[in-house]
Amino acid sequence: MTEPEPTFDVSTETGQKKKGMYEKYGVIFNENFSFEDFQWDWNTINSNYAPNSTGFRYTNGDSKYVPEVLDSLNKWFFNIFPQEFISSNLPRNIYMCDTLCNRYSYLSSIVYRWLPGEIKTNYMMLGYVSERFGTVRMNRSHITSWVSLLIEKMVSAKNLTIPQAFIELSLDGYAQYSYTNAADVTTLYGLLRKGRNGQNTGTATAAWFTTKAEQDFGDFVAFIIYVPDSEKESYYSKNPVIRQKVGIVKEYFKSVHNITLPYKPRLL
C-alpha cells in the first residue's frame, strides 16, 4: 500500500515549517486531519465523543500556532537526536490537536483529564496546539511529557527495544491494574510517573492508570536529559532502582544507537 506525497502551502509560514520537517525527517505534522484519518487505525475504529459528554475528545489544532510548536519540538527533541535516528524510528503521521482529553461524569458535572498527547497504532497525537501552548511550553513537565511520548511511540512501533534488565526492575509496577491517588510509585516500584492518561474517574481522589513499560522508558529518557542532577538525587534517595534504570537507558542508547543522551537541565 502506498500513500501520495503530501503537499504543503509554502505561501504560509506554517506550510514552510511543515514542509521542512517532512523533507528532513519524513514526518508529516497535520493540524487539519479529517475525522476519517483519526477514526481508521488499522484494526481499530477510534471514537471522538461530542462536546459536553463523557469519553475521549479531540479538536484540531490551530494553524497559527504550528510554527511555534514545531520550533519548540525542534529545540526539545529533534535537535537532540541524530537525524537518521528520528527519521528511521518516528511514525509518518503526527496529528496536532488543541483539545485532547478524557472526560468523566461526577456529581452531574463533566470532569476533564487533559492529555499532552496520545499514541495510536497508525499515528500519534499532540495537544495544546493553540493559544494555550504559550502557557504549557514554559512547564518542564510538558516538555518531558512530549519527549517521553515521542520515545514511547518509537517503542510501541517496535523500532526501539526496551532492555529486559530495565523491565525486570519494575515488573511489579507494570503489573498493577491501577495506582491509588496517594501512591508514591517511585518509592514503591521504581517508576518516575503514574500512567500518562491520568486519573480514571472524575473524583478528586480517583485511581490513576497504570504505567506501561513503553511510557516508563520514554519517561527515563526525558528524565536523563531535562531533570537537574540535584533533583535526580531526590529520586535516587527514594529508590536506588531509579539510578540503575538511568544507567541501563544510557548504556542502551550508547551501545545500540551510538547516542550519548545529553544533559540539558531545565529548572522548575
Looking at residue 1, its pLDDT comes to 54
pLDDT per position as a tens digit, 12-70:
999 999 999 999 999 999 999 999 999 999 899 999 999 999 999 999 999 999 999 99
Please determine, for residue 268, whether its predicted confidence score (pLDDT) is greater than 80.
no
Please determine, for residue 3, whether its predicted confidence score (pLDDT) is greater than 80.
no
Looking at residue 4, its pLDDT comes to 83
Domain boundary among 138, 169, 197: 138
pLDDT band at 162 (very low <50, low <70, confident <90, very high): very high
CA distance 95 to 21: 14
Q: Are residues 170 and 262 in the same domain?
A: yes
Q: Report the pLDDT averaged over residues 256-262.
A: 98
Per the CB < 8 A criterion, the answer to whether 252 and 201 are in contact is no
Q: Report the pLDDT averaged over residues 169-195.
A: 98
pLDDT band at 267 (very low <50, low <70, confident <90, very high): confident
CA distance 98 to 128: 5
Q: Tell me if 4 is assigned to some domain.
A: no
Looking at residue 249, its pLDDT comes to 98
Residue for grid cell 483539545: 99
pLDDT per position as a tens digit, 184-234:
999 999 999 999 999 999 999 999 999 999 999 999 999 999 999 999 999
Q: Are residues 133 and 184 in the same domain?
A: no
Q: Report the pLDDT averaged over residues 138-154.
A: 97
Q: Are residues 258 and 175 in the same domain?
A: yes
Q: Report the pLDDT averaged over residues 170-176.
A: 98
CA atoms within 13 A on the CB side of 137: 18
pLDDT per position as a tens digit, 62-96:
999 999 999 999 999 999 999 999 999 998 999 99
Q: Tell me if 94 is assigned to some domain.
A: yes
User: Which structural domain range is residue 133 located in?
Assistant: 9-138
Structural domains of the chain, count? 2
Q: Are residues 130 and 164 in the same domain?
A: no
Per the CB < 8 A criterion, the answer to whether 116 and 196 are in contact is yes
